[in-house]
């Protein structure tokens, strides 16, 4: 039935891109005769019509986010098929992303908000629940040339609404959901409000606030304690002053907090071996492993507390010639404290998995932009980044042994019979097994960049740009200062430094056959700087992770037809990655290591269609056909029991993953939406909307361990409601209406791997199950 519905959508549909909220973006768009406007994007750091930009971009406006019920980045893949979110907000674009769970490495998919890169994964979560967002853009392919730092695979660009001069206004948005098929019979609430205040004739203040509370999808039935839901709240203040027509200052300050482990650490077992140590304790509390199991236990504490904040300021000056000079300075900081019971039973297997991380960054970017209307136009600038990460972590437990035997020889956990005689403990151990460490990373990045376009003849433009980047990093690592009967990982105390200078570039051309039909072709080299692994596979191996390079070629067609009632965009691409930075679990060490894959190739086609056959009726379709594989990856960690001749003790249990698909890369992803709005009377409209997402099968692990493959699926969404021209809007909706259970990740269980057995676990997000809800909004 789902496939039939999906086929019908494909016959009629396209990307759910409502018209842009142009009042919140720096430039206005042209209007078609049906009253719709073109989408305006900032994919090249200046406001341009989407159809004029020689970059593959999926732009989802505030209206598009609202129509699909997308409230955070983890749900954005519902509208952007090239984007995949794999648990814990790890992003991939076109099948490539770092998927790293360490603080010494940045993501290959960068996040920028209001022109400032959020470099650390902790800061990336600062986006949290969307509020007062004008538009979110998913930029495919290398984007580091203009966007500050790294982005070798792609970029998520979030643009929030700017203060409006001379206007007193505000809005209130409320949403309540029910997840009836979860063990908790869960509820959720999101409330957000905005007020826009004119301070003077030439200045305005805009204040936003958001609060979100979500019951977990997974139910806790253990003996421990903790915060098992998810609560987020934050405030943002924006001040804009235009000193004159040429000079302006835009300041943004924000603070937000996030509490609870839901969607991060509530990880049920999907499969366990018959002789698994956790099986008996799980059965004792009524848990049977399986993909339909939404229960977890635990005797330890569960918490996740994140605080983030920052301030940024942009000073802009436009010369009489039209040249704009601007400077953006930003300071951002975050802290995270967390712990969870790793074995998820009421017996102490590994009850402590805690860490505390503090991060801060300062960025400054000086930019000079030439007038966009000139034959020769473009921008150039200087960029500086300084970041500091401090992390302390500890992982330990009793390995399911009775507490009464642990103080005695040979385990000697909390031993009191210290001595040198037979049967006496020479030392007192912290736990039966474990690892701990401290990590201090300081990094600096300097760059000079420029990208220019020259219209050599009418309608033919040549594109050329380059960026010189110099990175310097230093790290202090101290692993395993505690004492354990069984030590996980490799004890290591070291200080190391790495520096690298890189030249990345972009060359291409675009040709406008008509004002509404444009073709382009580009070749670009993307760059992601070096990093550090917090663990090493063996002594003598450097923790330095080498830079990642992406050579990308792309050709595309962008067209607006039938008085812009039909938009058809197509892009074909091929990316070749060298030294791809990846993270994988090493079962022999019982820890995650970061390393460089030798090479990977991602190639495919991206398609988007937007049709407005009549006023009020919109069809959308977006699809990505993808082939993303490792070309050569010696040193890939084997899973326990892998039937490969290379996976034996003599070879270090490693094999070559060349030819295997990259994690979280489906061969086909397609999303479709239809929306219709009609007038009930002079002041009241009704609307109805439906959408569908199809994603073919994907692996979540590099070594393709059994149980870590998610089969293909479709999910449905729908909404119906009323919208008043007086400023209010109300709707009822369902997300994942058919209740297709979709985990956000599937992974190897580390505890079982440490004991030479294969077990798997999974994570969920709030779209993993059916949601039924109501939404109400009011503007004044």
Q: What is the CATH number of the domain that holds 66?
A: 2.40.170.20
Number of structural domains the chain divides into: 1
pLDDT over 70 at 28, yes or no: no
Q: Which residues contact 164 (CB under 8 A, 6 or more apart)?
A: 23, 196, 204, 206
pLDDT band at 146 (very low <50, low <70, confident <90, very high): confident
> Phi and psi (nearest 5°) for 489?
80, -170
- Report how far residue 714's alpha carbon sits from residue 674's, in angstroms, rounded to the nearest whole number: 16
What is the maximum span of the chain, computed from C-alpha positions, in angstroms? 94
Q: Coil, strand, or helix at residue 146?
A: coil
> Which secondary structure element, helix H or strand E, spans residue 126, and what is its range?
none
For the chain, the average pLDDT equals 89
Residue 768 Ramachandran class (φ > 0 left, ψ -120 to 50 alpha, else beta)? alpha
- Report how far residue 96's alpha carbon sits from residue 90's, in angstroms, rounded to the nearest whole number: 11
Q: Which residues are bridge partners to 737 per DSSP?
A: none
Q: What beta strand segments (E) does 217-345 contain?
A: 219-220, 225-226, 230-242, 247-259, 269-271, 295-296, 301-318, 324-339
Task: Report, as an integer, the average pLDDT of 590-609.
Answer: 86
pLDDT band at 36 (very low <50, low <70, confident <90, very high): low
- Report how far residue 70's alpha carbon sits from residue 76's, in angstroms, rounded to the nearest whole number: 6
Single out the residue of 702, 614, 708, 635 nearest to residue 662, CA to CA: 702
Peptide bond into 770 cis (omega under 30): no
For residue 262, give its domain range. 2-779
Write down the pLDDT at residue 406: 95
Write down the pLDDT at residue 24: 46
Q: Could you tell me what percent of the chain has a pLDDT over 90? A: 69
DSSP state letters, 105-148: ---SEEEEETTEE--SHHHHGGG-B--SEEEEEEEES--TTTSS
| 3-state SS track over 557-625 | EEEEECCCCEEEEEEEEEEEEEEEEEEEEECCCCEEEEEEEEEEEEEEEEEEEEEEEECCEEEEEEEEE
641 or 259, which is more confident?
A: 259
> Tens of pLDDT along 528-568?
999 888 877 677 778 888 999 999 999 999 999 998 899 99
> Tens of pLDDT along 468-502?
999 999 999 898 778 999 988 788 888 999 999 99
pLDDT band at 21 (very low <50, low <70, confident <90, very high): very low
- Report how far residue 166's alpha carbon sits from residue 198's, in angstroms, rounded to the nearest whole number: 5
Q: Which residues contact 671 (CB under 8 A, 6 or more apart)?
A: 15, 16, 78, 79, 80, 81, 620, 621, 622, 623, 691, 692, 693, 694
Write down the pLDDT at residue 179: 97
Write down the pLDDT at residue 347: 95
Write down the pLDDT at residue 750: 85
pLDDT band at 129 (very low <50, low <70, confident <90, very high): confident
pLDDT over 70 at 216, yes or no: yes
> Tens of pLDDT along 60-119?
888 888 878 788 777 888 888 998 887 666 788 998 887 656 777 788 888 899 999 988
> Tens of pLDDT along 108-122?
888 899 999 988 877
Write down the pLDDT at residue 300: 93
Write down the pLDDT at residue 586: 66
pLDDT band at 637 (very low <50, low <70, confident <90, very high): confident
The mean-pLDDT minimum among 16-30, 131-145, 213-227, 701-715 falls in 16-30
Residue 346 Ramachandran class (φ > 0 left, ψ -120 to 50 alpha, else beta)? alpha
> Tens of pLDDT along 654-683?
899 999 999 989 999 999 999 999 999 999
The two tokens of residue 108 are 């290959």
pTM: 0.91
CA 241 to chain centre: 33
Q: Which residues contact 681 (CB under 8 A, 6 or more apart)?
A: none
Q: Could you tell me what percent of the chain has a pLDDT over 70? A: 92
Q: Are strands 247-259 and 269-271 parallel, antiparallel or unpaired?
A: unpaired
Q: How many CB atoms lie within 10 A of CB 780?
A: 11
Single out the residue of 68, 70, 44 nearest to residue 56, CA to CA: 44
> Tens of pLDDT along 694-704?
999 999 999 99
pLDDT over 80 at 636, yes or no: yes
* Spatial contact of 313 and 267, defined as CB atoms under 8 Å apart: no
Single out the residue of 293, 288, 301, 398 nearest to residue 340, CA to CA: 301
Query: Which of 444-458, 577-591, 638-652 is modeled with the greatest confidence?
Result: 444-458
């Amino acid at each position: 039935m789902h496939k039939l519905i999906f086929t019908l959508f494909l016959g009629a549909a396209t990307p759910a891109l409502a018209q842009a909220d142009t009042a919140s973006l720096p430039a206005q768009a042209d209007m078609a005769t049906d009253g719709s406007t073109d989408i305006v994007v900032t994919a090249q750091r200046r406001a341009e019509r989407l159809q004029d930009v020689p970059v593959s971009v999926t732009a989802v406006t505030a209206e598009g986010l609202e129509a699909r019920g997308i409230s955070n980045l983890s749900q954005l893949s519902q509208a952007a098929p090239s984007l995949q979110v794999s648990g814990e907000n790890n992003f991939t674009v076109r099948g490539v992303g770092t998927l790293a769970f360490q603080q010494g490495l940045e993501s290959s998919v960068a996040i920028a908000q209001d022109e400032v890169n959020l470099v650390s994964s902790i800061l990336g979560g600062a986006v949290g629940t969307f509020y007062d967002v004008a538009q979110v853009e998913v930029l495919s392919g290398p984007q580091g040339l203009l966007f500050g730092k790294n982005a070798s695979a792609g970029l998520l660009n979030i643009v929030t609404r700017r203060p409006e001069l001379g206007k007193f206004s505000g809005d209130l948005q409320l949403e309540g959901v029910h997840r009836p098929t979860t063990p908790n019979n869960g509820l959720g609430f999101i409330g957000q409000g905005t007020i826009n205040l004119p301070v003077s004739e030439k200045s305005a203040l805009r204040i936003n606030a958001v609060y979100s509370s979500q019951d977990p999808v997974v139910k806790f039935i253990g003996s421990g304690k903790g915060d098992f839901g998810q609560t987020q709240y934050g405030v943002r203040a924006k001040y804009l002053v235009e000193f004159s027509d040429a000079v302006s200052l835009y300041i943004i300050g924000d603070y937000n907090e996030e509490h609870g482990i839901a969607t991060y650490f509530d990880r049920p077992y999907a499969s366990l071996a018959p002789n698994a140590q956790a099986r008996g304790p799980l059965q004792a509390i009524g848990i049977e492993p399986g993909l339909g199991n939404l229960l977890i236990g635990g005797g330890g504490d569960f918490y996740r507390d994140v605080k983030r904040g920052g301030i940024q300021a942009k000073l802009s000056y436009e010369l009489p010639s039209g040249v704009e000079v601007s400077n953006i300075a930003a300071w951002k900081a975050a802290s995270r404290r967390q712990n969870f019971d790793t074995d998820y039973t009421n017996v102490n297997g590994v009850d402590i998995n805690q860490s505390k991380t503090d991060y801060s960054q300062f960025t400054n970017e000086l930019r000079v932009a030439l007038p966009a209307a000139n034959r020769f136009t473009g921008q150039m600038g200087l960029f500086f980044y300084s970041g500091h990460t401090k992390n302390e972590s500890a992982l330990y437990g009793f390995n399911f042994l009775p507490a009464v035997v642990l103080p005695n020889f040979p385990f000697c956990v909390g031993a009191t019979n210290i001595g040198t005689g037979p049967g006496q403990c020479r030392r007192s151990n912290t736990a039966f097994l474990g690892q701990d460490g401290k990590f201090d990373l300081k990094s600096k990045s300097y760059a000079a960049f420029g990208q220019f376009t020259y219209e050599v003849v009418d309608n033919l433009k040549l594109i050329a740009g380059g960026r010189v980047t110099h990175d310097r990093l230093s790290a202090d690592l101290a692993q395993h200062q505690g004492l354990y009967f069984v030590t996980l990982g490799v004890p290591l105390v070291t200080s190391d430094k790495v520096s690298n200078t890189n030249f990345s570039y972009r060359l291409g051309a675009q040709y406008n056959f008509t004002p509404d039909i444009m073709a382009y072709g580009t070749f670009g080299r993307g760059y992601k700087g070096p990093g550090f692994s917090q663990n090493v596979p063996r002594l003598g191996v450097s923790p330095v992770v080498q830079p990642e390079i992406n050579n990308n070629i792309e050709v595309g067609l962008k067209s607006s037809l039938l008085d812009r009632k039909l938009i058809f965009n197509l892009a074909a691409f091929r990316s070749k990655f060298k030294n791809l930075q990846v993270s994988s679990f090493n079962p022999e060490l019982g820890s995650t290591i970061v390393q460089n894959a030798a090479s990977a190739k991602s190639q495919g086609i991206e398609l988007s269609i937007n049709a407005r056959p009549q006023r009020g009726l919109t069809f959308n379709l977006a699809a990505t056909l993808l082939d993303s594989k490792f070309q050569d990856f010696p040193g890939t960690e084997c899973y326990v029991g892998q039937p490969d001749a290379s996976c034996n003790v003599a070879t270090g249990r490693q094999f070559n993953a060349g030819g295997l698909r990259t994690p979280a890369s489906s061969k086909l992803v397609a999303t479709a939406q239809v929306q219709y709005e009609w007038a009930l009377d002079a002041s009241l409209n009704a609307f109805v909307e439906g959408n569908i997402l199809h994603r073919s099968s994907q692996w979540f692990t590099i070594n393709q361990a059994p149980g870590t493959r998610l089969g293909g699926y479709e999910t449905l969404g729908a909404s119906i409601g009323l919208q008043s021209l007086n400023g209010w809007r109300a709707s009822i909706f369902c997300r994942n209406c058919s209740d297709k259970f979709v985990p956000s990740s599937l992974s190897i269980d580390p505890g079982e791997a440490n004991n030479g057995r294969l077990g798997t676990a999974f994570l969920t997000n709030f779209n993993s199950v059916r949601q039924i809800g109501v939404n109400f909004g009011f503007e004044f």
